[in-house]
Structure 1
Amino acid sequence: MTGRLLLDENLSPRLAAALGETFPGSVHVRDLQLRGQSDEQIWAVAAEHSYTIISKDDDFRGMSLLRGAPPKVIWLVVGNTSTTELLRILLTHSTAIETFITEPDTSLLTISKPRP
């Protein structure tokens, strides 16, 4: 079973389409007319529609630590990374992401850029 990802606006919209085969139903905030909306609004939509938020934004990490799930949050600690490299990192972690999404007792997954 895979989960749907909601990509925050600090990530490229192209990632949603590229991740679609591995995580069907994944969308970017712009696809849901959420571009420019508050983190609170994005959080509410993700919770209501069973999305896992994926973001570089530390605010979502903080919200997850304070509130728990839903929604679940994948926090990316990758610095300035090209969309191609970020896609590679996410696909490398796809099994861990799928496990995280289905694990009922966790609300936050941190993914870091691998060290050279």
Structure 2
Amino acid sequence: MTIRLLADENISWRIKRLLTEWDILPVNEIVGIKPLSDMAIWKFAKANDYLILTFDEDFIDIHNLYSFPPKIIWLRTGNINTSIISEQLLLREQKILDFMLNDELGVYEIYL
């Protein structure tokens, strides 16, 4: 099973180069320079079977209103370096895969 992440605009597109075994789509590749609303990102992720990778608590609010899919990986780390994000995701790869398969969970929180 491949981990498919839609990386929110606050996460550098460089994460795609660091997690080459994963299917990562930075939001800026969808729209170029035009920003998308959080709801548009949520709808895109749902329609295209992506998990949302974000620092943004607004996605939790959307999740609370509409549930899932899409599932959300919420980085509760503050603004950190992209290489640290990728390292932390790789350390949790099996837990993320388990989260993807769990029909009862919609949000996976990562704290540092």
TM-score, structure 2 length as denominator? 0.91
Equivalent pairs counted in the alignment come to 111
Deviates more, 1:12-21 or 1:40-49: 12-21
CA distance in 1, matches of 2:83, 2:27: 19
Aligned to 2:4: 4
Q: Which residue of 1 aligns with 2:82?
A: 83
Alpha-carbon distance in structure 1 between the residues aligned to 2:30 and 2:16: 12
List structure 1 runs of 4+ shifted beyond 6 angstroms. none
TM-superposed CA distance for 1:80, in Å, is 2.5
Q: Mapping of 1:1-116 within 5 angstroms?
A: 1-21=1-21, 23=22, 25-33=23-31, 35-113=34-112
Q: CA deviation at 1:46?
A: 0.4
Post-superposition Cα deviations, 1:9-68, rounded to whole Å, max 9, x if no partner, equal: 0101011232231x2x22100121265110011011100000000100000112112221
Q: Which runs of 5+ in 1 are unaligned?
A: none
The CA distance in 2 between the partners of 1:77 and 1:50, in whole Å, is 23
Partners of 1:57 and 1:41 in 2: CA distance: 14
Contact 2:54 2:74 in 1 (8 A): yes
Identity across the alignment (%): 34
Q: In the aligned structure 2, how far is the partner of 1:98 from the partner of 1:20?
A: 16
- 2:18, 2:83 within 8 Å by CA — same for their partners in 1? no
The normalised TM-score by structure 1 is 0.88
Structure 1 vs Structure 2 CA RMSD? 1.4
CA distance in 1 between partners of 2:65 and 2:80 (Å): 28
